[in-house]
A and B are shown apart, each in its own frame.
Chain A
Amino acid sequence: MKLTGAEMVVKALENNGVKVVFGYPGASNCPIIDKLSFSSVKHILTRNEQGAAHMASGYARVTKEVGVCTATSGPGATNLITGIATAYMDSVPVVALTGQVTTGLIGKDAFQEVDITGATLPFTKHSYLVKDGLEIPRIVNEAFHIAGTGRPGPVLIDLPMDILKAEYDYPDDEPEINIRGYKLAGKANESQIKKIAEAIKAAKQPVILAGGGIVISDAVDEFRKFVKDTDIPVVSTMMGIGVVPSSSPRYYGMIGSHGARRANMILNRADLVLVMGSRLGDRSVAHAGGFKSNKKIVHIDIDPAEIGKNVVPDIPVVGDIKDVLGQLAPLVSSYRTEPEWIAAADEIRKNATREVETSDTGYVNPKYFLQKLSDKTNSEIYVSTEVGQNQIWTANYFNFTTPRSLLTSGGFGTMGYGLPAAIGAATAAEKPVVAVMGDGSFQMDLPELGTMCQWGIPVKMVLFENDRLGMVHEHQYLLYNSNYQAVDITGSPDFNKLADAYGIPNSIISENSEIDAGIDALMGAEGSYLLVVKVNPFEPTGDSLNENRLPKKEVQ
C-alpha cells in the first residue's frame, strides 16, 4: 500500500484513538491538515497556536487521553512553546505535530524555519525530527506511548514538508514499540513499603501530602479508602486538589505560599509526612530544611529523579501510587490515627480559617462567589482557571469533590491557559466547563472566543473584573511599598459588549446579593455565557502569604 507521509501520520493518529486535533495551518503542516479532512479525526481551528497547545492539554486532563495539537513551521511552532512547557510542568500527555521546511532547506535559515526540536528540548519528554518517511508509523506510535505512560508529558514530532508529501510503501506490520532506553517503573520495592508501614505505626501525628501523581495514577478510589481506614489528615498541593473532596473532614487544604494557613500549620506540626505523587516544588515547600525539621519524610513518586531533587526523604519509594497503596494498605489495616491529633488538627482549622464576607459591600467577594458556585452546581462541573488571584481563590474556596475537575497551570503558572484549556476540555467533557478568569489573563488568549463560537463549544466564563493585574498589584502592595507599576489595565474593553460582539449571552454582577442570579444565568444558559463579576482591587488573595496582614487601603 502506497501512502504519503501525511497519510501515514493521520493513519497513525487514528490507530492511536485520536478523535480531535487542535491546530492552525500553514504551508508546512498543510499536508496533515489536508489529509485530516479525509479521516475520522476532527480538526479544530484555533486563533493562535498557543491556544491549540492549551486546548490539547485541557482535553487530555479531562479525558485521560493524549491531547494532540498541530502547527506549521517557524512562528507556528514557536507559538506552541508556552503550551508545551505548561503541559511539561504539570505532566500532561500531549503530542505536538509541527510542520518543518523541506529536508534540503533545513539549516539554511529558510522562510519560516526554526529548530523546534532544539528549542523545546528542555521541556518535552521526548522529541523527533523525522528524516525518513518510513519511520513515521513507528515514531507516532512511540510518541503516544511515551506521552501517555509513566510520568506523562509532551512529545513533539517535527515533520519536514517534503516527507509529508512524498509517497512510501506502508509497512505490512504495525511497528512494534521497543524503546530500550525507556523502561516503566515496575512493582514498588516491598521492603521500602514495609518501612513506610512501620513509620506509620510509630507516628503520633501523621499527615499525607497528596500531589497530582495520585490523579495521574488513577488511584483516587484507593487513596480515599486508605484515608478513610487510617483517618490520617490530608493536605494537598495544587495539583492534588480533588483527591479527597475539599469538604471532607480529613482534608485541611492546599499547602504552600498560596495555600491555606491551616494546611501549612498542620503540615509543620506533623511527625510523619507521607508525600504521594508530588515533586515538592518551591511553591509548595519553599525551604526544604524547614520542611524536614522534626519529622520523618516518606516520598513516593513514579519518577525516581523527583525523589531527593528538592527534599531528601527518610524513606524513598519509587513506584506507581496505585501499586504502592495496594501493597501498603494491608500492612496498616489495624492503624488508626490518634483522636488527639485529629482534634488538634481540627482546632488549627477552626482558628486559622477566616470567615468569608457575605454581605453587600459594593463588590462581589470572589471567595463567597466560588463557595456559592460549588453549592449551586453541586460541584458537578469542571473548573479551569487562569493564573493570578483567580487561580488561588478557586483552589482555596471552590469545593472540589472529584479529581481532574480543576484544570489549572500549577507548575508553569501560565496566564492565558484557562480559556483555551476550558475550550479543549469542553469538546469532550460530560459535565459543564466553567472558566474562572481575571480580566488580565482573559485578555491573553481572548481571541479564542472565536474558536469557541465557530465550533459551538460551550464554556461558562466567570470573569473577575478589578481593572488590575490583581496578584502583582497585591505583590507591589506587600513588597514594593504600594508603588503600583504596570498593573493598571485601564483600556480594557467593555467585556459585556465584547461578548455581545461574539454573540455570547452575558451579564454583570457587583454585589454579593446578586451572586445567585448571576450563577443561575451562567449555568442556565444553553451554550457559552460570560458572567462579569466586579471584585474589589484590594481583595486579598487570602492565602498564607497575606492572611495575617492588615486590610488594604488604596494609595493614590
Chain B
Amino acid sequence: MEKYTLSVLVENHPGVLSRVVGLFSRRGFNIASLSVGTTVDDTISRITIEVEGDSLIIEQVSKQLSKLMEVIKIKTLPENEMVKRGLILCKVRVSPKTRGEVMEIANVFRAKIIDISPSTMTIELTGNDRKLSAFLDMIVNYGIEEIARTGMTALERGANILKLDKNS
C-alpha cells in the first residue's frame, strides 16, 4: 500500500474534524497521520491527511470527503511536488558521559535542544519522514524516555495554491 497526502480545506466549525475522521473509520479507510490548523482566513482550517491505499481508494476518499458540506476543497498533493514536514519532541536519557554525543547527533540533524535536566535532554526536530526516522534510529540506543510527534503537514511546491472552489 502506498501513502498519499491529501490537503483539505474545511470550515473552521466545531465538529468538522469528527465528521472527517468518522468518515474514514466508517468507510474503512486508513489514516496514517493527520494535522489540523487554521489558515490565514480564520473561517477556514486546513487538514492534512496521510492516507494508506491505492489510487482507487484515494479517489473514493476524496469523493466521499467532498460530499461533506463543511469540506470546501480537496487536493491530493503530488508526491514529488510537495514539501512535507512533521515535528518530533523527543526526551532522551543522557549521562554526563553521553550528553556530548547526543548533542552532536542533534547538530548533525539540525535539531534543537529545548530542555535539559541532569538525566535527560529534550530535542526538537522538524523534517520529512525519512529524516525523522533516521534521527530516531540514531538516538534510540541512548534510551528514549518519551516522544511526542505531530502528523505530517504539507504544501505543494511552486506557485500552486488551493483556491476556494471545491469543484475546480
Contacts and interface: CB of A to CB of B under 8 A. Distances in A.
A496 to B, nearest CB: 45
A165 B163 CA distance: 41
A179 B66 contact: no
8 contacts: A121-B18, A121-B22, A180-B11, A181-B69, A181-B166, A183-B167, A304-B63, A308-B63
B19 interface: yes
Interface string B127-168: 000000000000000000000000000000000000010110
A129 B14 CA distance: 10
A179 B167 CA distance: 13
Contacts of A117: 15
A303 to B, nearest CB: 7
A121 B56 contact: no
A146 interface: yes
A186 B166 CA distance: 13
B59 A308 contact: yes
B124 interface: no
A182 B19 CA distance: 15
B69 A146 contact: yes
A181 B59 contact: no
B15 A183 contact: no
Contacts of A129: 15
User: What size tier do the contact residues of chain B reach?
Assistant: 20 to 34
A122 B22 contact: yes
Given A117-B15, A121-B18, A181 B60 contact: no
Nearest to B60: A309
A118 interface: yes
Contacts of B59: 308
- Pairs of residues from A and B, 3 with the lowest C-beta to C-beta distance, nearest first: A305-B63, A126-B69, A181-B72
Interface in A309-327: 309, 312
* Most B-side CB within 10 Å, residue of A122, A179, A180, A183: A180
Contact of B67 (A118, A122, A186, A305): A305
Contact of A305 (B11, B26, B66, B164): B66
B51 to A, nearest CB: 15
Contacts of B19: 121
A180 B56 contact: no
Given A122-B22, A126-B69, A180-B11, 20 more contacts: A121-B22, A122-B26, A146-B69, A179-B69, A180-B72, A180-B164, A180-B166, A181-B11, A181-B71, A181-B72, A183-B166, A183-B167, A304-B63, A304-B66, A305-B60, A308-B56, A308-B59, A308-B63, A309-B60, A312-B56
Interface string B51-93: 0000010011001101111111000000000000000000000
Interface of B: 10-11, 15, 18-19, 22, 26, 56, 59-60, 63-64, 66-72, 164, 166-167
A146 B10 CA distance: 18
A506 B71 CA distance: 54
Range of interface residues on A (Cβ < 8 Å): 10 to 19
Contacts of A186: 167
A183 B67 CA distance: 9
Contacts of A181: 10-11, 68-72, 166
B17 to A, nearest CB: 12
Contact of B69 (A118, A121, A182, A303): A182
Nearest to B164: A180
Nearest to A306: B63
Contacts of A180: 11, 72, 164, 166
B67 A303 contact: yes
A117 B67 CA distance: 17
Interface in A146-186: 146, 179-183, 186
A303 B166 CA distance: 15
Nearest to B166: A183
A470 B167 CA distance: 48
Contacts of A146: 69
Nearest to A123: B26
Contacts of B18: 118, 121
Contacts of A308: 56, 59-60, 63
Contacts of B26: 122
Interface in A273-313: 303-305, 308-309, 312
Interface string A124-146: 00100100000000000000001
Name which of A118, A304, A308 has the most chain B CB atoms within 10 A of its CB.
A304
Nearest to A303: B67
Interface in A186-238: 186
B56 to A, nearest CB: 7
A152 to B, nearest CB: 13
A122 B68 CA distance: 11
Contacts of B22: 121-122
Contacts of A309: 60, 63
